[in-house]
Chains A and B, each alone.
Chain A
Amino acid sequence: MKSIEELKAIKERALKEISIRENENKVRIVVGMATCGIAAGAKGVMSAFIEELNKRNIQDVTVSMTGCIGICRHEPIAEVYEANGEKTTYIKLDAEKARRIVAEHIVNQQPVIEFTIGAAEK
C-alpha cells in the first residue's frame, strides 16, 4: 500500500459489495417469485434488475423476492417501494422492461407508466 488513494479504491469496491447489509431508507424492488411468477419468467426479470443496478453502480436499491401477489394473470410482477413507502406495481415484465424501469424509474425518478398495473387495468 503506497498511498491513501489505493486504500480508498479498495474501500469503494468493498462498500459496493457489503452495502446490501445497510437497509435504512432504501428503495426496494420486490419481484414476485411464486410458482406463477417463476413459470412466467420472473427469474430472468430479477437477474436483469440485479445486473442493471450493478452495471450502473447503484448501491442504495435492494432487490428481493416475495411470494404470490395474487394477480397471477399479470405475472411476472415487480413492485418498487420508495423510501417513503410509496409503491408502484409493474406487470407482465421481461428482462428488457426491467432494464428500462431501472433507467427511467430508479435513475430518472420517472415511473414507466405504460408498464404499470394502472395502465393495463384501464
Chain B
Amino acid sequence: MVCRSHILICNGTGCVASKSPEIMAKLNEHLAANGIEKEVKIVKTGCFGLCEKGPIMVIYPEGATYCHVSPDDVEEIVNEHLVKGRIVKRLLLGDKDAEDVAKSLENVGFFARQQRVALRNCSVINPENIDEYIARDGYAALAKAVTEMTPQQVIDEIKKSGLRGRGGAGFPTGLKWQFAAQEVNDQKYVCCNADEGDPGAFMDRSVLEGDPHTVLEAMAIAGYAIGSNQGYIYVRAEYPIAVQRLKIAIDQAREYGLLGKNIFGTNFSFDVDIRLGAGAFVCGEETALMTSIEGKRGEPRTRPPFPAVKGLWEKPTILNNVETYANIPMILLKGAEWFASIGTEKSKGTKVFAVGGNINNTGLVEIPMGTTLREVIYDIGGGIPKGKAFKAAQTGGPSGGCIPAQHLDTPIDYDNLIALGSMMGSGGLIVMDEDNCMVDIAKFFLEFTVDESCGKCPPCRIGTKRMHEILERITEGKGEEGDIEKLETLAESIKQGALCGLGQTAPNPVLSTLRYFRDEYEAHVKEKRCPAGVCKAMLNFSIIPEKCKGCSLCAKKCPVGAISGEIKKPYVIDTAKCIKCGVCMDSCKFAAIEKK
C-alpha cells in the first residue's frame, strides 16, 4: 500500500527523551480516530541534528518541518494538517509564513551550511527497515566492491580519497587497511570502535541510531579489502537504542544474505557480531578495546606490534571508528576524486561535530573540513545565548584542548587544530563563554581522566592524580607560588611516560588552557581571585546598600537563612553562613548583589 502521506519523527536519543515515543502513540490514536490510519505512514528516523528544537517531525508530501512538538500538539496536527490539509504554522521550523512550506528551512543557517556525507541517511530513512537503506543506494557499494573490484583496488580507492580516521588521531584509513591486507594469516578481523566516551560527544551514537546499515556495509567492504570474514562492533552498553537498532540491522542483513556466506554469489563471506562495553573510557583506546573484546579486563598494551600485525586474539586486525566507516560506501559509489574534492589539502571530506555547551543550537552538525570555527558557532550554531562573549571552544574531549577567540577564523582540519594545541578528536565541541573559568574547565577534564585511568602505568595513575590535586588547591584559593610550573613539569612527564593514548594526552586540557589563559591561573594563585567568578572559595557575595530597596526577596529565597534585615532598609549577607549558591543574585530585581 502506498500512502498519501509520510510522517517522519525523530527517534534519536535526544528526541526520545523529549517524548517522541509518546507522540507516535498519540499519532496512531488520532489517525485511527479519523479513519485515515491506512493512508498515512509513521516513520521513525534517526537524528535530524537540531536536538535543541526537538522533537522534530516532518510531514510529506508537503515537506513541512515541525519543531518542539509535544504530545498535546498531535491532535491539532492530525485534524488540521492530515485531515484538512492545513499547515500548522505555529509549529513550523524556520520561516513560519513561507509561501511554500518545504522552503521554510531555506534561511535556517543551521541546515544551509551543512554537507551531509556520513549523516546522509540520518533523519531520512527508517533505521529499522533495510529496504529504505537499499532505496538510498545501500549495499550498492558492497556489491560493486565484491563483484567488480579486487581487494587492492578497494584499498587504493580509499587511499586516493584521503580519508583519515574520524576517531580523533586522523591516521590515513587506506594505509591502515593496506598494512592489514599485507599480513599473511588464515584469520583476520575487522573491528568497529563505537565506544564513544568523550564528555559531550554523540556523533557515533547518532550514526548507529540513524543509519546502522552503513556501518555494517562498510565493515563488510573492509573485510573484503583485507581478507577477513568476521567483524566485531564494540559499542557501549549505555547506548541501548543504538545497540537495539544494530541488532535489528544485523538480523535483516543476514536474512537478505548481505552478511553471511557467499555474498552476491561470490566466494566472499563475512559476518558481524556486537560486543558490549561496560563504559570504561580507556576501552576506546584500540589495544584496550581489543583486550576487552577478548573477554579480559580492558587495559592497553604497548605498541608495536600494531593491531594490523597483531590485534584481536593476536591476529591481524583493523579498527576504525563509526564515522570513518559511514564515509566508506559513499567513497566507493561516488569515487575517490569526489571525496577528495571536499575539504582542505590534508584533511578531506566532512566532519561531524556534536556541538554543546553555551550555544543556541545544541545539536549534531556535519561540515566540510576547512569550515571555520566562527561559521560553526555563529552561522550554524546560532551564537551564544544571552549575547554573551565567546571565550573558547573545547575540542577533542579530555585529550584535546581549547581554542580561544583569537583563533575563531582558523579553518578546522586535523593539522590546524594540532598546531593550536588542541586536536580534532572524535568531534565533541563544547562552547564556553565569558562566565566559564578555564582553570575550572581544566580541573573538570583532569577529574575525568583521574576517574577513568585504568591504573596500569604510574605516570597516568599517579601523575594525573597529582595534577588534579594541584588544580583543586588552586581553585580553592590555596594555590602556591610554583604550582603552575609544577603542573607543567608533571604534564611533560606524563606525556612522555604514559603507556597509552589516554595517559599521553591527559595533560592536554591543562597545557592548552595554560597556553591561552595563563593570566587566569596566575590570578587564582597570586591574587586569590577567580576572574570569571566561578571558583566559589574565592568569591564573596555582598549587598550594595545604595541599590538595595529592602524588598526582602533575597532573604526569603536564601536556603540557609544567611540574609537578614528590615523591610525597606538595606539587607546584609552573613558571609559565615553563606554557601555561595548565587540564588540571591539570581532573584534580586535591582542588581543589588555583587560577587567578588
- Size of the A side of the interface (Cβ < 8 Å), in residues, is 31
In the bound complex, residues from chain A placing their C-beta under 8 Å from that of B419 are: none
Please give me the residue from chain A that is nearest to B130 by CB atom: A10
Inter-chain CB contacts under 8 Å: number: 91
A50 near B: Cβ within 8 Å?
yes
* Of B56-64, B170-178, B281-289, B546-554, the one touching chain A: B56-64
Cβ A2 vs Cβ B257 within 8 A: yes
Residue interface mask B329-357, A partner, CB < 8 A = 1: 00000000000000000000000000000
In the bound complex, residues from chain B placing their C-beta under 8 Å from that of A28 are: 61
Cβ A33 vs Cβ B83 within 8 A: yes
Query: Contact check: which of B3, B135, B143 meets A4 at CB < 8 Å?
Result: B143
In the bound complex, residues from chain B placing their C-beta under 8 Å from that of A15 are: 135
Q: How far is the CA of A99 from the CA of B516 in the complex (A)?
A: 71
Cβ B263 vs Cβ A4 within 8 A: no
In the bound complex, residues from chain A placing their C-beta under 8 Å from that of B187 are: none
B517 near A: Cβ within 8 Å?
no
In chain B, positions 32-76 with a C-beta closer than 8 Å to chain A are 39, 60-63
In chain A, positions 86-115 with a C-beta closer than 8 Å to chain B are none
Q: How far is the CA of A11 from the CA of B137 in the complex (A)?
A: 7
Q: How far is the CA of A67 from the CA of B125 in the complex (A)?
A: 30
Cβ B143 vs Cβ A64 within 8 A: no
B451 near A: Cβ within 8 Å?
no
In the bound complex, residues from chain A placing their C-beta under 8 Å from that of B179 are: none
Cβ A65 vs Cβ B131 within 8 A: no
Please give me the residue from chain A that is nearest to B133 by CB atom: A14
A63 near B: Cβ within 8 Å?
yes
Query: Contact check: which of A2, A10, A30 meets B85 at CB < 8 Å?
Result: A30
Please give me the residue from chain A that is nearest to B84 by CB atom: A67
Cβ A64 vs Cβ B62 within 8 A: yes
In the bound complex, residues from chain B placing their C-beta under 8 Å from that of A26 are: 61
Q: How far is the CA of A46 from the CA of B40 in the complex (A)?
A: 13
Could you pull out 23 A-B pairs where Cβ atoms are within 8 angstroms? A1-B257, A1-B264, A4-B147, A7-B139, A7-B140, A10-B131, A10-B134, A10-B256, A11-B134, A13-B131, A14-B135, A17-B2, A17-B132, A20-B3, A21-B124, A23-B60, A23-B102, A33-B83, A34-B84, A46-B4, A64-B85, A65-B83, A65-B84
Cβ A17 vs Cβ B139 within 8 A: no
Q: How far is the CA of A19 from the CA of B423 in the complex (A)?
A: 41
In the bound complex, residues from chain B placing their C-beta under 8 Å from that of A18 are: 6, 125, 132, 135
Residue interface mask B255-268, A partner, CB < 8 A = 1: 01110001111000
Which residues of A are in contact with B by a Cβ distance under 8 Å?
A: 1-4, 7, 10-11, 13-18, 20-21, 23, 26, 28, 30, 33-34, 46, 50, 53-54, 62-67
B589 near A: Cβ within 8 Å?
no
Q: How far is the CA of A28 from the CA of B4 in the complex (A)?
A: 12
Cβ A1 vs Cβ B263 within 8 A: yes
Cβ B4 vs Cβ A50 within 8 A: yes
Cβ A64 vs Cβ B5 within 8 A: yes
Q: How far is the CA of A34 from the CA of B257 in the complex (A)?
A: 49
Q: How many whole Å from B148's CB to the nearest CB in chain A? A: 9
